[in-house]
């Protein structure tokens, strides 16, 4: 009796592919929101806000908040300051100033990447509860006292369930 090796190898390939897809999808199951926006020519004007609309349904659970920053290695500073403005559903807002370190004092860059760019996902706060269900608008502005900050190519926010 002849065995059909082609169909057996296809079954193993399909099963392996399904397993890989399932693992990739489950790795980020705690993510509520994760988005970054690009800046033209790695330049961020101080009056340009990056706005992110986050729909929150769970007001009981707690979340972790991160800021995503992608900088090029010609960035002049070892940190970056942000103004974070939060607009609440139904009205109201808050504003915070946040510092994120991008490099050590000796100049070694934090984050992942090789070559010209480094990607950082910086934990800002945990145990966050949203008081109301609805759409929150989170806006980031650079707060580095420069009219145009050079060397930042992307910035964003990430929220994940604890």
pLDDT mean for each 10 residues of the chain (162 residues): 55 52 60 97 97 96 98 97 97 97 95 95 96 97 97 98 94
Does 5 reside within a domain? no
Does 154 reside within a domain? yes
Rounded Cα distance between 156 and 81, Å, is 13
Does 109 reside within a domain? yes
Contact present, 160 and 64 (Cβ < 8 Å): yes
Rounded Cα distance between 111 and 22, Å, is 27
Host domain of residue 123: 30-161
Collapsed DSSP state (helix, strand, coil) of residue 46: coil
Q: On the CB side of 80, how many CA atoms lie within 13 Å of its CA?
A: 28
Does 25 reside within a domain? no
Distance from chain centroid for Cα 138: 12
Give residue 29's pLDDT: 83
Does 155 reside within a domain? yes
Rounded Cα distance between 13 and 16, Å, is 5
CATH number at residue 107: 2.60.120
Pull the structure tokens for residue 8.
């057996």
Does 3 reside within a domain? no
Give residue 28's pLDDT: 74
Is 0.85 surpassed by the pTM of this model?
no
Does 117 reside within a domain? yes
Give residue 5's pLDDT: 58
Rounded Cα distance between 36 and 39, Å, is 10
Q: How many domains does the chain have?
A: 1
Does 23 reside within a domain? no
């Amino acid at each position: 009796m002849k065995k059909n090796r082609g169909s057996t190898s296809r079954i193993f390939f399909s099963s392996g592919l399904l397993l890989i897809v399932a693992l990739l999808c489950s790795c980020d199951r705690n993510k509520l929101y994760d988005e970054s926006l690009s800046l033209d020519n790695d330049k961020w004007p101080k009056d340009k806000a990056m706005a992110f609309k986050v729909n929150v349904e769970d007001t009981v659970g707690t979340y972790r908040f991160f800021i995503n920053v992608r900088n090029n290695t010609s960035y002049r500073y070892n940190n970056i300051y942000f103004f974070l403005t939060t607009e609440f559903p139904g009205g109201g807002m808050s504003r915070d100033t946040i510092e994120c370190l991008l490099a050590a004092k000796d100049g070694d860059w934090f984050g992942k990447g090789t070559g010209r760019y480094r990607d950082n996902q910086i934990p800002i706060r945990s145990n966050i509860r949203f008081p109301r269900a609805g759409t929150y608008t989170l806006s980031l502005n650079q707060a580095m006292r420069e009219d145009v900050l050079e060397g930042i190519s992307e910035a964003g926010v990430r929220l994940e369930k604890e």
